[in-house]
């Protein structure tokens, strides 16, 4: 079907289940990574009420991408990432980051501990102060004070947009200079913002 890349996420539980034990088929993302790796080797899950064991079939050729979480405690994140690497991950896309320094620290930490997969920074352009507040409260991520202040002090929506897009463009330029293997843009279907960013970069 022309699908080459799979972002292998366990995902979050439904909002009303946050306090309950996760009850999906995959308690951890590395289990899904392992299943896709098996498919790449031609090993498929048994069909319900048909196969007793895993069955063999045509090998797939998926690039398996996993989520990286620079915001998590270092030891916890390293343990999670090592399990994903051992399960067969090929590349990492980070959760939203808002500073070049945060990406650099995370990428260098992984490398220092023997994790050498490409680390693609996840970038969310913020163009309004309310967006920054939402990112911090909903995702529990840290937005740099300089970005928040610039958005807050803007005298109009247009000025906030300009500040936010220029901030993001400069961040991407730094990442490119650092040899990051590209960026993943969290733009929530806003295609125009992508085109605007490309012009600025």
Ordered mean pLDDT values, 10 residues apiece, the chain (201 residues):
92 66 79 96 93 93 97 96 97 96 97 97 97 93 96 96 97 97 93 94 93
pLDDT at 10: 83
Give pLDDT tens digits for 82-111: 999 999 999 999 999 999 999 999 999 999
Which residue segment(s) compose the domain that 118 sits in?
5-200
Q: Which residue has the tokens 């200079």?
A: 177
What is the C-alpha to C-alpha distance for residues 152 and 67, in angstroms, rounded to an integer? 30
The confidence score (pLDDT) of residue 21 equals 65
So what's the pLDDT on residue 14? 67
Please report the pLDDT score of residue 31 as a whole number: 94
pLDDT value of position 12: 72
CATH number, domain at 148? 3.20.20.220
Residues 6+ apart with CB under 8 A from 124: 96, 98, 135, 185, 186, 187
The confidence score (pLDDT) of residue 17 equals: 63
The per-residue pLDDT for 182 is 95
Radius of gyration of the chain (CA): 19
Q: What is the value of pTM for the model shown? A: 0.90
Please count the structural domains in the chain: 1
């Amino acid at each position: 079907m022309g699908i080459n890349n799979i972002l292998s996420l366990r995902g979050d539980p439904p909002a009303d289940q946050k306090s309950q034990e996760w009850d999906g088929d995959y308690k951890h993302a590395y289990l899904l990574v392992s299943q896709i790796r098996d498919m790449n080797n031609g090993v498929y899950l048994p069909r319900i009420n048909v196969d007793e064991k895993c069955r063999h079939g045509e090998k797939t050729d998926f690039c398996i991408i996993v989520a990286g979480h620079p915001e998590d405690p270092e030891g916890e994140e390293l343990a999670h990432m090592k399990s994903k690497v051992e399960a067969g991950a090929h590349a990492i896309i980070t959760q939203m980051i808002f500073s070049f320094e945060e990406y650099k620290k995370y990428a260098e930490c992984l490398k220092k501990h023997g994790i050498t997969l490409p680390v693609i920074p996840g970038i969310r352009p913020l163009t309004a102060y309310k967006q920054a507040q939402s990112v911090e409260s909903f995702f529990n991520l840290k937005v740099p004070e300089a970005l928040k202040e610039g958005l807050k002090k803007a005298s109009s929506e247009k000025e906030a947009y300009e500040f936010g897009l220029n901030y993001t463009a400069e961040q991407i330029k730094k990442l490119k200079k650092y040899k990051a293997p590209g960026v993943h843009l969290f733009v929530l279907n806003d295609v125009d913002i992508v085109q605007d960013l490309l012009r600025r970069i």
